Structure 1
């Protein structure tokens, strides 16, 4: 299994800076998703603070919500995205947050998140704004789960059905091919549970679902 379900990586290459500005906008997030970027950062902080061992953030994008958190953390961290321009912006954001030098314990890799180049294991895996992009949530979660250490944890977020305006916008994104499936939080829970990894919790804030899985 690989990340071909994400479509054309060049789409993100062309709109990296616009995407960065959009996902960081409180107005955009409140208007379309009934959410706040601070909620994404709080969820990421929960993931980063959940352990001390190696950590992986997948589909990191521009690290809008996590750059400062990764700098404040002492964890060995790998950040992965398929878009080189997005990853470049993520590196710049982390470097700036760190005062001008990228910490040696942080690695950025432009590659498929589901097929690591080595048999690597992580204590924690984080993926913000991820699961609405994949048609088969259970298969994706299982592939990520194989990269976890024993008793590791997954923290994954997804757009879900919520307020009426959000649902209309999700429909437009689905019709345009920008997301794979518009799911309810309940449907997301069922599909994540079907992966058979461990204990699953799903909470919803506006049109964003937050998934935690403990092995």
Structure 2
């Protein structure tokens, strides 16, 4: 079992509530089969809670009750599976093109008994029209200028994109402004979530599409 610091445990209890045990099992999967199969580097194991799981899960608070969420480039289930764990009211579609990652995601979903998750093996651009989403999420997929074209079309003209980004978020927004507008984005903002809860809060770019 990967030990949490006292601060991480307090944050995890607040975010996952009575599903903390499931979140711990997910982290075990990441630390074992996830690294063995190359979904995460072994160096990431000591910081799985702080840098990956909590960093992603805290963003779930931005999503409306009962929303349908499509997570683009799910990889090791970050952020998609953390949302499914923290918010059982959400319906998640994890979009991932690589077969070995899809197999691993399905194994984890089955083991955790998550009935609010569907794993779709396809590329984001091929999922347009096949996935109904109110919110599209992504983390560590590509620069916003490219990511906008992979995420906004999945919303079918209405909803929002939540992209977990790093310190260069504002700069990325500036570079992507034109393409975001062209694709139907009506408002873009950079948000910080997890302040007072996480040692390092999470930076999110929110793109509103439609009115």
TM-score by length of structure 2 reads 0.62
Partners of 1:24 and 1:64 lie apart in 2 by: 13
Q: Which has the higher helix share?
A: 2
- 1:203 deviates by 4.1
- 1:155 deviates by 0.7
Partners of 2:49 and 2:66 lie apart in 1 by: 31
Aligned pair 1:74/2:107, yes or no? no
- The 5 Å alignment of 1:84-103 reads 84-98=99-113, 103=115
Q: Which runs of 5+ in 1 are unaligned?
A: 1-14, 161-183
**Distance change (3 Å), C-alpha of 1:122 and 1:28:** closer
- 1:66 deviates by 3.8
Aligned to 2:125, the other structure's residue is in SS state coil
Aligned to 2:73: 59
**Distance change (3 Å), C-alpha of 1:130 and 1:112:** same
Offset from partner CA, 1:157-200 (integer Å, 9 cap, x none): 2344xxxxxxxxxxxxxxxxxxxxxxx23311213433111221
Question: How many equivalent pairs are there?
Answer: 165
Offset from partner CA, 1:21-70 (integer Å, 9 cap, x none): 6586353797xxxx464122212x235x3242422111101215542531
Partners of 2:72 and 2:188 lie apart in 1 by: 19
**Distance change (3 Å), C-alpha of 1:46 and 1:18:** same
Aligned to 2:37, the other structure's residue is in SS state helix
RMSD, aligned CA: 3.4
